A and B are shown apart, each in its own frame.
Chain A
């Protein structure tokens, strides 16, 4: 038994020993093969380097190299190995020193040297010592990095940098020069404008008196001769005024000062009214007038009707002027329509004298007519088409002319207009003169006696009551003692000028009485200033009595219904339209629209809020009340109620104090219903035509 066990143990031991031997043998074989592999791998790494690599023994002799070293030194491998390392550099002493340094410190980094080859390659010298397993130094491994390419790039970079710097300097100089030139040009434009503005002022003031008094004289008893002479004066005066206005318009467009309005207007009515002006003239000349209007054009469009008038007026008056017999056709065609805008082509065709082909391209230039004889035969300044072109192009349109000598001409222009909601009907058509405006008290503020007298005759004609104040200070005194419906205010006066007086009336007296500025000078910043001090409108001198009348009638129509609702406003408990009036500049049309919108959206918001409170849908309560909040201040509903609404907003968003929400909502419902009732009443008052 024991023998058996011992034998078994021996066998087991011998098996495990033989296993051990087998393993050991395999391991050794693997190590040798992997070492060989490692060495091949290392060699390939060394050969792959594009930088020359050397190993040097402590005596300074080369012991091994890679291919890059062969390439750079242009010496074969066999001839390199065993030679003196230092001989391959332009400064062998330096190389030797570096070599010593490597041995002393163990390494050296980025030391610049030059290899003595065909090209004197510049390198950075990097080296470190290598040791055997006992720590004995066997030699040095050296890498010499070729930095030729690096140097070239560096040089190029420097060059490029210098070039860029000098380009910047040149650009800077050019820019300064351009700025200087622009400044001079701008000053020239400014002084030209100033000159025109001064000139217009100087000419317009006496023209005002000449034309005005001619008109007054024409209304007195005259014999036929006297009437003829006076008519001649009036016609010449009118022509001169048109010329001055033309020159000023052109100067304004040139200076980029022309401002185009964007107001809704009725295209068809506007065009008809315009053509209407020419009907007598056309009948006198026995011409036929044809009107073609495309009914697909939307009723109301947004644009500048005044400038459109001016363009058509220029073209039609040319057509009438240059046509002796035949017909004039005015056609308006819809070219294109999309969601927001339309493009419309307007053309004016005549059967007049026509324009020679070689003159056609110059016809839109300033002071150009088809021939130098034109002016003598037909009159005109040659500014009309230039102005029309400028007005059209500044609004993003184009104008073209076609013509056949002796057969007639066609002038067409294309302008874009914005579409608008049909509801927005701010009618800016030419006002009818026969509007009934009675019992009007006008305060005229004017220092020049002549103009005072002229104003007096005009207002007498209109059957308006009037008083004259010689300056702003007197005007204010008069205003404090008596009430007037409208003020006509000259701008430049002694003691207190029109701006100061208006400021005082608006800010100190808090009066919203309509004020129309009278000015002989419309190019300067005066107009902006008129608006900013709170004047409602302006009229340029020489005064056109029809424009004066329509402007007065227009302003009074606007302000009267608003004055009417001032009284019931005091009786209202919930709403106060003072703020709305201020925001809309007391424009009854806009006030109406705002109130209608409030009446439209508030009841549905209230019912949403009530229902949501009942359903405990707090998000919905929140969004309804949130939308309501801005309307409180717009309609002048008391701050307490707005705060109530804000509380509901707060509670419903934070979901706190929800028990209070119910009561607040009921209160708001009550307030808003009352406010709506009051607004319905006010709406009737604003609506009522005066």
Chain B
């Protein structure tokens, strides 16, 4: 009667391996999601055809490799390929202009890397799915009309 729900595909993009690993550990306990990690924005964009349900993207992606594309550019490229892919931005800097910038480039939310980042991420992901459900229901009704 009930079908097995499809697992959620998460993309984590961060060139800070330590923080990346800590997120992997956090998500590892969550059996509903499959996590794929990338150290650069380029790798993430190359794999975007897998249609991740949520992308978690670091704002500063070129601190190790100066020539790598940064978070915003990665965000733009993702949005250019699929504008509906929800992207949550991460940054260790709590700055209004960073936040505003992220929003301008169509990020779903902006989260500061801290002890509570993971909890916020989880909450944001829940919110994203909540929105998507509402939108789906809405479009169903619109179609019926």
Q: Out of B25, B66, B93, B144, which one reaches A583, CB within 8 Å?
A: B25
**A623, B60: Cβ atoms closer than 8 Å:** yes
**A597, B4: Cβ atoms closer than 8 Å:** no
**A256, B115: Cβ atoms closer than 8 Å:** no
**B92, A584: Cβ atoms closer than 8 Å:** no
Determine whether A233 belongs to the interface, using a CB cutoff of 8 Å to chain B.
Answer: no
Determine whether A259 belongs to the interface, using a CB cutoff of 8 Å to chain B.
Answer: yes
**B113, A629: Cβ atoms closer than 8 Å:** yes
Q: Out of B2, B34, B36, B63, which one reaches A626, CB within 8 Å?
A: B63
Contact with B along A156-176 (1 / 0, CB 8 A): 000000001000100110000
**B17, A600: Cβ atoms closer than 8 Å:** yes
**Which residues in A have their C-beta under 8 angstroms from that of B17?**
597, 600-601
Q: Out of B29, B63, B113, B117, which one reaches A624, CB within 8 Å?
A: B63
State the CA gap A601–B31 with chains docked (Å). 29
Known contacts A256-B5, A623-B60; A597/B21 CB under 8 A: yes
Determine whether A598 belongs to the interface, using a CB cutoff of 8 Å to chain B.
Answer: yes
Determine whether B16 belongs to the interface, using a CB cutoff of 8 Å to chain A.
Answer: yes
Determine whether A432 belongs to the interface, using a CB cutoff of 8 Å to chain B.
Answer: no
Residue of A nearest to B36 (CB): A340
Number of interface residues of A (CB under 8 A): 42
Q: Out of A172, A583, A601, A649, which one reaches B16, CB within 8 Å?
A: A601
State the CA gap A623–B58 with chains docked (Å). 12
B53 to chain A, nearest CB (A): 16
**B31, A594: Cβ atoms closer than 8 Å:** no
Interface core residue of B18, B25, B63 (most chain A CB under 10 Å): B18
Determine whether A633 belongs to the interface, using a CB cutoff of 8 Å to chain B.
Answer: yes
Determine whether B124 belongs to the interface, using a CB cutoff of 8 Å to chain A.
Answer: no
**B26, A583: Cβ atoms closer than 8 Å:** yes
**Which residues in B have their C-beta under 8 angstroms from that of A627?**
15-16, 60, 63-64, 92
Known contacts A262-B34, A593-B21; A630/B1 CB under 8 A: no
Q: Out of B1, B62, B114, which one reaches A633, CB within 8 Å?
A: B114
A667 to chain B, nearest CB (A): 19
**A630, B19: Cβ atoms closer than 8 Å:** yes
B63 to chain A, nearest CB (A): 3
State the CA gap A194–B82 with chains docked (Å). 44
Known contacts A261-B31, A623-B62; A186/B145 CB under 8 A: no
State the CA gap A256–B7 with chains docked (Å). 13
Known contacts A168-B144, A189-B2; A634/B60 CB under 8 A: no
Report B86-145 residues with CB < 8 Å from chain A CB: 92-93, 113-115, 117, 144-145
B136 to chain A, nearest CB (A): 14
Known contacts A171-B144, A597-B18; A262/B31 CB under 8 A: yes
**Which residues in A have their C-beta under 8 angstroms from that of B66?**
620
State the CA gap A584–B117 with chains docked (Å). 15
**Which residues in B have their C-beta under 8 angstroms from that of A254?**
1
State the CA gap A631–B114 with chains docked (Å). 9
Determine whether A655 belongs to the interface, using a CB cutoff of 8 Å to chain B.
Answer: no
Determine whether B3 belongs to the interface, using a CB cutoff of 8 Å to chain A.
Answer: yes
State the CA gap A255–B145 with chains docked (Å). 35
Report A243-267 residues with CB < 8 Å from chain B CB: 254-256, 258-262
Q: Out of B2, B22, B115, which one reaches A594, CB within 8 Å?
A: B22
State the CA gap A254–B19 with chains docked (Å). 39
Report A142-190 residues with CB < 8 Å from chain B CB: 164, 168, 171-172, 182, 185-186, 189
Determine whether A287 belongs to the interface, using a CB cutoff of 8 Å to chain B.
Answer: no
B127 to chain A, nearest CB (A): 22
Determine whether A579 belongs to the interface, using a CB cutoff of 8 Å to chain B.
Answer: yes
**A255, B2: Cβ atoms closer than 8 Å:** yes
Contact with A along B51-65 (1 / 0, CB 8 A): 000000000101110
**B115, A579: Cβ atoms closer than 8 Å:** yes
Determine whether A590 belongs to the interface, using a CB cutoff of 8 Å to chain B.
Answer: yes
**Which residues in B have their C-beta under 8 angstroms from that of A563?**
none
Determine whether A394 belongs to the interface, using a CB cutoff of 8 Å to chain B.
Answer: yes
State the CA gap A256–B32 with chains docked (Å). 13
Known contacts A583-B22, A601-B18; A623/B63 CB under 8 A: yes
Interface core residue of A168, A394, A631 (most chain B CB under 10 Å): A631
**A630, B92: Cβ atoms closer than 8 Å:** yes
B8 to chain A, nearest CB (A): 12
Q: Out of A258, A594, A653, which one reaches B21, CB within 8 Å?
A: A594
Q: Out of A340, A418, A634, which one reaches B18, CB within 8 Å?
A: A634
Report A582-608 residues with CB < 8 Å from chain B CB: 583-585, 590, 593-594, 597-598, 600-601
State the CA gap A186–B17 with chains docked (Å). 44
Residue of A nearest to B29 (CB): A585
Q: Out of A186, A594, A598, A631, which one reaches B1, CB within 8 Å?
A: A186
State the CA gap A583–B119 with chains docked (Å). 12
**Which residues in A have their C-beta under 8 angstroms from that of B15?**
627
B115 to chain A, nearest CB (A): 5
**A186, B26: Cβ atoms closer than 8 Å:** no
**Which residues in B have their C-beta under 8 angstroms from that of A579?**
115
**Which residues in B have their C-beta under 8 angstroms from that of A594?**
18, 21-22, 25
**Which residues in A have their C-beta under 8 angstroms from that of B29?**
585
**Which residues in A have their C-beta under 8 angstroms from that of B62?**
623
Known contacts A623-B62, A627-B16, A633-B114; A256/B4 CB under 8 A: yes
State the CA gap A653–B92 with chains docked (Å). 13
**Which residues in A have their C-beta under 8 angstroms from that of B31?**
259-262
**A631, B18: Cβ atoms closer than 8 Å:** yes
State the CA gap A185–B15 with chains docked (Å). 48
Residue of B nearest to A579 (CB): B115
Q: Out of B3, B26, B92, which one reaches A629, CB within 8 Å?
A: B92
Q: Can you list 14 contacts pairing A with B, beta carbon distance less than 8 Å?
A: A164-B145, A185-B1, A255-B2, A258-B4, A394-B4, A585-B29, A597-B18, A601-B16, A626-B93, A630-B16, A630-B113, A631-B16, A634-B18, A653-B93
4 further A-B pairs in the complex, CB-CB below 8 A; given A394-B4, A631-B19: A186-B1, A623-B60, A630-B16, A630-B113
Hey, which bits of chain B sit against chain A, CB under 8 A? 1-5, 15-19, 21-22, 25-26, 29, 31, 34, 36, 60, 62-64, 66, 92-93, 113-115, 117, 144-145
